[in-house]
Amino acid sequence: MRQAETWVILGASSGVGRALAREVAARLSAKIILAGRDLHDLEDTATDLRIRHGVDAEVIGFDAAAPDTHAEFAARTTRRAEGLITVCFLSAIMPAQDAVEVQPTLAAEMVMVNLAGAMVVLLHLANALEKRRGGRVVVVGSVAGDRGRRKNFAYGASKAGLHAFTEGLAARLRPQGILVTLIKPGPLDTSMTWGLPESGLALDPRRAAGAILRATLRGRGTAYVPAIWGPIMTAIRMIPAAIFRRLRF
C-alpha cells in the first residue's frame, strides 16, 4: 500500500486549484484538504473528488486576507492531515492594472492576499512541517513576477515578492528535507484571464495541473508552466532595464 499523504490546497476554488485537486486525487489517491473562502463551492469539489476518485477530501475555511486566523488554520490543517503533507498555495487576485491606478488601495488588497497572506500562512505551515520533519511546499507565482511590465506591474510586484519569499523559504526548509517548488505559469485559461484581451493562448488548467504535479514530485526548485516560458522569460529577463522601461507590453 502507498504511504498515506495529504495535499493541502489553498485557493482550491481557483481554476487551477480544482484541476490540481483532481489531478492529485487521480494520480496519488492522497487525502485532500481544500482551503478557501467559498465553502459551498469547496464542498461541491470535495464531493466530486470522493465520488470520482474515492479519496478522502475535506474543506477548511481559509481567508488569506485575515492573517490573524492563520495560526489556527495551520494548526487545524496539520491536525486533520495524515502522513506526508504537501502544502500548495494558489490564492491570488488580479485587479486590472488600470483599476489599480485609479484606485491605489486595490494594490494593498492584492498584496494582502497574494503576498502578505501567503507569507503568514506559509510561515505558520513551515513551522508545522519542520516539527513533522517532512513535507513539501508548492507556491504558485507567475511569469508576471519576473519583470515589472507596464501593463501588469502591480500584480507582478506581488508575485515578485512571493518569488523572493519562496526562494528563501526553500533555503530554510532544505535541511529538513522539505522541498519547496515555485511554479511560474504563463497565461492560464481560468476565470482570472477570461475576458482579458490577450487570453487567447491560455493553457488549459488541467494541463497546468499535470505539469505542477510532475514538477513537485520531481522536487524541482522552479518550474515554468508550460516549460516554453523558461527560455522566453530568460530572454525577457536579459532585456536591459533602460530598454524595458520603454516597452508598453
Partner 1 sequence: MVMWRSIERAGWGGVAAERMEAARPERIAALLATLREPGARGLLAVGAGCSYGDAGLNGGGRVLLTERLDRILEFDAQTGLMVAEPGVSVADVIAHFLPQGWCLPVVPGTGSVSLGGAVASDVHGKNQHRVGNFGDHVAWLDLLDADGNVRRLGPGQQGALFAATIGGMGMTGVITRIAIFLQRIPSSTMMVLREKVASLDALIACLAERSSRSEFSVAWIDGQAADPALGRGVVESADWSDEDAPPQPVSPFRVPFTPPASLVVPLVMRRFNHRYWHAVPDRRAAVPRRAQAFFFPLDRVVGWNRLYGPRGFLQFQCVVRDAAALAPMLRACRAISPTLVVLKAMQGTGRGLMSFGITGWSLAMDFPAGPDTMALLQRLHAQTAEADGQIYLAKDIAMTAENLPRMYRKLDRFRGALRDVDPRLSWQSSLFRRLKLFP
Ligand X SMILES: NC(=O)c1ccc[n+]([C@@H]2O[C@H](COP(=O)([O-])OP(=O)(O)OC[C@H]3O[C@@H](n4cnc5c(N)ncnc54)[C@H](OP(=O)(O)O)[C@@H]3O)[C@@H](O)[C@H]2O)c1
User: What, of ligand X, partner 1, none, does residue 18 touch, CB below 5 to 8 Å by kind?
Assistant: partner 1
Shortest CB 18 distance to partner 1, Å: 7
Shortest distance, position 15 Cβ to partner 1, whole Å: 6
Residues in CB range of 240: below 8 A, 6 or more apart: none
Minimum distance from residue 149 beta carbon to ligand X (Å)? 13
Gap between the Cα atoms of 214 and 211, Å rounded: 5
Smallest gap from Cβ 93 to partner 1, in A, equals 12
State the Cα–Cα distance between residues 9 and 19, nearest whole angstrom.
Answer: 11
- Could you tell me the smallest distance in angstroms from the CB atom of residue 101 to ligand X? 19
- Which is closer to partner 1, CB of 53 or CB of 159? 53
CB nearer to partner 1: pick between 166 and 190: 190
Q: Which is nearer to partner 1, 72 or 204 (CB)?
A: 204
Q: Which does 137 bind (CB under 5 to 8 A by kind): ligand X, partner 1, none?
A: none
Torsion over CA: 83, 216, 136, 25 (sign): negative
Nearer to ligand X, 88 or 126 (CB): 88
Across-strand partners of 57?
A: 32
Among residues 52, 15, 12, 2, the alpha carbon closest in space to that of 32 is found at 12
C-alpha cell at 94: 488580479
Query: What cell does 17 get?
Result: 486549484
Distance of closest approach, residue 40 Cβ to partner 1, in angstroms? 7
- Please enumerate in sequence order all residues whose Cβ is within 8 A of that of 198, keeping only pairs 6 or more positions apart, or say none: 187
Task: Report, in Å, the least distance between residue 188 CB and ligand X.
Answer: 4
Identify what 195 binds: ligand X, partner 1, none; CB under 5 to 8 Å per kind: partner 1
Select 169 or 212, whichever has its Cβ closest to partner 1. 212
Whole-angstrom distance, CA of residue 80 vs CA of residue 163: 28
Q: Which residues bind ligand X (CB under 6 A)?
A: 11, 13-17, 36-38, 62-65, 90-93, 113, 140, 142, 185, 187-188, 190-193, 202
What is d(CA 81, CA 205) in angstroms, rounded to the nearest whole number? 26
Q: Which is nearer to ligand X, 6 or 91 (CB)?
A: 91
Nearer to partner 1, 17 or 135 (CB): 17
C-alpha–C-alpha distance, residues 14 and 36, integer Å: 9
Residues lying near partner 1 in the complex (CB under 8 A): 13, 15, 18, 38, 40-41, 44-45, 47-48, 51-52, 190-191, 194-196, 199
Helices (H), the chain: 15-28, 39-53, 70-80, 97-102, 105-111, 118-132, 153-173, 205-217, 229-237, 241-244
From the list ligand X, partner 1, none, pick the one residue 196 interacts with, judged by a Cβ distance below 5 to 8 Å according to partner type.
partner 1
